[in-house]
Structure 1
Amino acid sequence: MMKKFKRSILLVIMTVMVCVMPGEAASQTMHIPVTIDYPLLRSMVISSVFTDPDQTVQVLYLNNGCTSVVLSDPSYRAEQSHVRGDFRLKVKSGDYSRTGCVKPVEWDGYLSVLQTPVINRQDWVLSFKAVEYQLLDADHKPAVVPEALRELIDVWAYDYVNHISINLLPPFEQFKVLLREVFHPELQSSAVKMIAGMTAERPVCDNDALRIYLRFMTDEVMKKKKELQKLHGSALQQEDSAELWKTLDSFFVFMIHTLAPETLTADEKQILLDTLLDTRYSFTTALSQGIITKDLVRAELAAAWRESAPVFRKHLGGGSSQDIMSCLAFFTVGDALAVLDRLVEDLGIEINERTLRMMASLLCKGKEVPLEYESTVDETLKGVLDIKQQFPDPVKQPNQSSLRRMIGISFAAFIPSYAWAAEYGKMPSAEYMNRWVYSRKDIDPYLDRVKDLLKQISESTIKNGKIPGDYHDLYRLIVFSTTWQESCFRQFRMKDGAVTYLRSYNNTSVGIMQINEIVWRGIYDPKKLRWDIRYNMTAGCEILELYLCRYALKRIEKLQLESKIDDDTLARTVYAMYNGGPRDFYKFLKRNRTGEYYRSDLLFWDKYRWVKNREWSNIRLCLIGG
């Protein structure tokens, strides 16, 4: 029974709620509700009880089936302060003889039982005490059942349902082990004592779920925490914290990999994309400001979990029974981290690479998960996030002698130190270099070439994308304005006597469209972003299309504003997200109302008006000056 039970226990949700006892120090008493929504309760019961073919249970089978009672298809819902369980019921009774079953009486309907859930505090077994029951026909209306079958129903069906139980001890034990890991090492012994003191309170039947409250006291941990002065004073060095964040990012990508794209709704895919982008943009912002800390990483995990966990709870759970049991612990710890984040200073909650790897291993049958921070394109990630791409043919590669002849002596000097060869593995064609390496003597022809290529790629994006026709012209303006703002139309620059790709001041973004390699990890090839101008342009155009269509236009529609947002404001909003992530949609609208703009808002506004008014002569301000 336990093995079957595990198949359905994956999505048990533990949401931590902190309750402060009157007159006492903050957070001395905690209540953790084990939350089991009713579809999950159904799955748990099926896995533990309805183990015969077609999710049935043969309660009684006599005389070759002449007398039988079969239950199947359980379902649960809340009813007042109880749980209402409905079970498909087939009953048959006849006189058995040598010739077979004589004059059988059969009935097919539903047994509907009002139940009170009960948790045994000693063995953590969840059972259900029947209050009353009724029989319903196939249309769920009160039924009249032949008297000959009533005794069978009372003695066998009703009694069987009244003894259904679920063993919650295995997932609870896993939860306790993993919960200990989220405490600082010097507090874990105290945390073990605290967790050991957990007691279960009476289950509560809410409209959305059955909740079993766990209560425990935090005094032991808080006392130890006070003794350890400056526990968080020696924060990790920024480099170490950045590595921890990379592990967190890999952990979230790993979680996304567990989902099947075809099972996700568009809204669910959007939630995952929002969470991934917001988390990554937050990291790049903190990295630029030099404030990467271990606590920041922990807070980002908590925020990401709160946003995305409902999607994972809904879709995970199709593995083996052992996998399901491990997944329960996975979700339990994730939920606990999300809310315990509020008590980090009092309880010494922290996150580390070991904790993340342990959680990941729960979804991999206990196998170790390295959580490597890979830079290669991740087709699985793109599929789950519903990111479709179209890229041009790769740059042609001639031999080095041809490159020297065509480029001439001026470029030949830095061919040996040319960064492309080491990173991309092949030399660029001479034609490619001549066309896309900017020279002051070549401003107008260079700008014409870049504009022509950008127009070609943006038109291709319009043709193959999902931009509404009314916004095609605006999209073109956004593309050119963004390129001007981000790079002054440059993919490459001269550095230390060699040609290299353009990189942002904080070393996160590259190329003519300044694609953020951290934010778009797994979506775009970093080497091509750096060395292939067409690839970089295509990526930038796709990202702008994404922010226009999947964010700006959809969010504006949901806001139902009294007055329509004009195109100029819409363009600035799209760029704000391109620069700062999805959260900047709302932030920019607020800045636009107050007039308190970021410097990047104002600089883009300049470029946007110049492109709109075809004031291309202003390009010299950044090309010659840069």
Structure 2
Amino acid sequence: MKKTLLSAYLGILIVYSGSLSASQKTIPLPIDYRLIRNVLVEQLYTGANRTAHLWKDKSGCSLLDMSNPKIDGQQGLVRIVNDVHARIGTLMGGECLTVLDWTGKLETFQRAVLENGGTVLRFPIDKAVAYDPGGQALRIDQLQDLLKRFAEPKLASVKLDLQEVRGDIEKTLVPVTTPENKAAVQALLSSLRFSEVKAGETGLGLKVAFEVPQANARANKQAAPVFNESEMQQWNVAWQRWNASLFQAIDRAAEDRVSEDVRDTLLETLLAAKSAFHKGLTSNDTSGGDPVRMFFNDSWDRVAPVLRTIAKDVPSTEGLRFLTFIAATDLLYELEAIGSPLGLDISSDGLRRLGRMLLVKQAGTK
């Protein structure tokens, strides 16, 4: 899966936290059930028309399939309702003779629990109920046994794994990690974990905890020189590629969920970012305010809800990465409000330093 511009910015937040002493931080990470459904479909519903082929006998005459999962929350549990098709048959004379063909619903109530030290979120089943299209409870022992043996374990096996997100973030950080901050970044990534989870009616209330390296007092550095013409040409090529990656992620979201208003808001934000970053990269004049800092201050409250909307509908791992970026940026503003203990440098000077690192690393990978 390709890196997005958002992942790159998450890398920026981590890279600029360079020291070895640390303190624990916790940030909220709400996850809509649409994202959980995407995880479910990606991991389990791999057949045609997003069907989960759970079981088929050797003759092919008997089978158990699930499809069309719907997810919400009830009384602190995650509720999943699946369409079920079960067929029991036998092979006679080279052809299948159907003994029983049943369609109905399987309704499971599942807890959201943290495992493996908070790095894995799983959903074990507390209760399961099967019923026909008329709402009558299933009373066929053979079918109940099939659901118990094949459907319930599959639904309980679905998980959200922070290890996967950690790997994506680490790949994003490769172009911007220096020898001085490599140990601190590795320590931060290793400490990343879920610290709390609650199942609500429309989504999960998660909290993510990690150890944030605290910056020592930084020596005053001479301002980084502005980009020359060659550097700006390289930057513009990279910027176009990042833009394309972001809109590819949007296109992977469900078309009926991502409205034209959402796309227009993102396009306006990207155009504003391009203008602000161009000013920050090519000029030292901050008499009217630093353009890079002003962009982040003015745009974040408007674009964060848009990104949350997109995160609900893109593929599961990328959706979680979107949400992690949002939470990390929320943390950035919280930390800056208490005096930037991480030494974060969201400014034109910081962008020029980071931009040169990106371009150098990018040139080395060609």
Give matches, 1:453-602, under 5 Å.
Answer: none
Amino acid at match of 1:337: T
Change (3 A) 1:276 1:113: same
Residue range with higher mean Cα deviation, 174-183 or 67-76: 174-183
Change (3 A) 1:36 1:179: farther
Deviation at 1:163, TM superposition (A): 3.2
Residue in structure 2 matched with residue 158 of structure 1 by the alignment: 152
Answer yes or no: is 1:343 the counterpart of 2:335: yes
Q: What per-residue deviation string (whole Å, max 9, x for no partner) do you get for residues 494-514 of structure 1?
A: xxxxxxxxxxxxxxxxxxxxx
> TM-score, structure 2 length as denominator?
0.68
Q: d(CA) in 2 for partners of 1:134 and 1:267?
A: 41
Amino acid at match of 2:76: S
Amino acid at match of 1:291: G
Residue in structure 1 matched with residue 324 of structure 2 by the alignment: 332
Residue in structure 2 matched with residue 266 of structure 1 by the alignment: 260
Native 8 Å contact 1:56 1:70 kept in 2: yes
Deviation at 1:182, TM superposition (A): 8.0
Could you say what secondary structure the match of 2:328 adopts?
A: helix
Q: What per-residue deviation string (whole Å, max 9, x for no partner) do you get for residues 484-536 of structure 1?
A: xxxxxxxxxxxxxxxxxxxxxxxxxxxxxxxxxxxxxxxxxxxxxxxxxxxxx
Residue 84 (structure 1) aligned to one of 79, 96, 114: 79
Residue 127 (structure 1) aligned to one of 122, 131, 138: 122
Q: Higher strand share goes to which structure?
A: 2
Answer yes or no: is 1:40 the counterpart of 2:32: no
Could you say what secondary structure the match of 1:64 adopts?
A: coil
Deviation at 1:297, TM superposition (A): 5.8
Give matches, 1:68-83, under 5 Å.
Answer: 68-83=63-78
Q: d(CA) in 1 for partners of 2:200 and 2:297?
A: 29
Residue in structure 1 matched with residue 17 of structure 2 by the alignment: none
Answer yes or no: is 1:228 the counterpart of 2:213: no
Residue 170 (structure 1) aligned to one of 158, 164, 168: 164
Q: What per-residue deviation string (whole Å, max 9, x for no partner) do you get for residues 326-378 of structure 1?
A: 67546634652354133241112246468679999xxxxxx969xxxxxxxxx
Residue 54 (structure 1) aligned to one of 33, 37, 49: 49
Deviation at 1:77, TM superposition (A): 1.3
Amino acid at match of 1:77: D
Runs (5+) with no aligned partner, structure 1: 1-5, 16-26, 318-323, 361-366, 370-626
Answer yes or no: is 1:292 the counterpart of 2:290: yes
Q: d(CA) in 1 for partners of 2:96 and 2:75?
A: 44
Runs (5+) with no aligned partner, structure 2: 11-21
Residue in structure 2 matched with residue 451 of structure 1 by the alignment: none
Higher Cα radius of gyration: 1
Residue 143 (structure 1) aligned to one of 137, 143, 148: 137
Native 8 Å contact 1:69 1:91 kept in 2: yes
Q: What per-residue deviation string (whole Å, max 9, x for no partner) do you get for residues 427-453 of structure 1?
A: xxxxxxxxxxxxxxxxxxxxxxxxxxx
> TM-score, structure 1 length as denominator?
0.43
Amino acid at match of 2:165: P
Q: d(CA) in 1 for partners of 2:329 and 2:357?
A: 14
Q: d(CA) in 2 for partners of 1:78 and 1:350?
A: 41
Deviation at 1:289, TM superposition (A): 3.8
Answer yes or no: is 1:108 the counterpart of 2:103: yes
Deviation at 1:84, TM superposition (A): 0.7
Could you say what secondary structure the match of 1:228 adopts?
A: coil
Q: d(CA) in 2 for partners of 1:145 and 1:37?
A: 34
Q: What per-residue deviation string (whole Å, max 9, x for no partner) do you get for residues 81-119 of structure 1?
A: 111111221122245544755561221011110001233
Could you say what secondary structure the match of 2:104 adopts?
A: strand
Answer yes or no: is 1:306 the counterpart of 2:304: yes
Change (3 A) 1:342 1:180: farther
How many residue pairs were aligned? 328
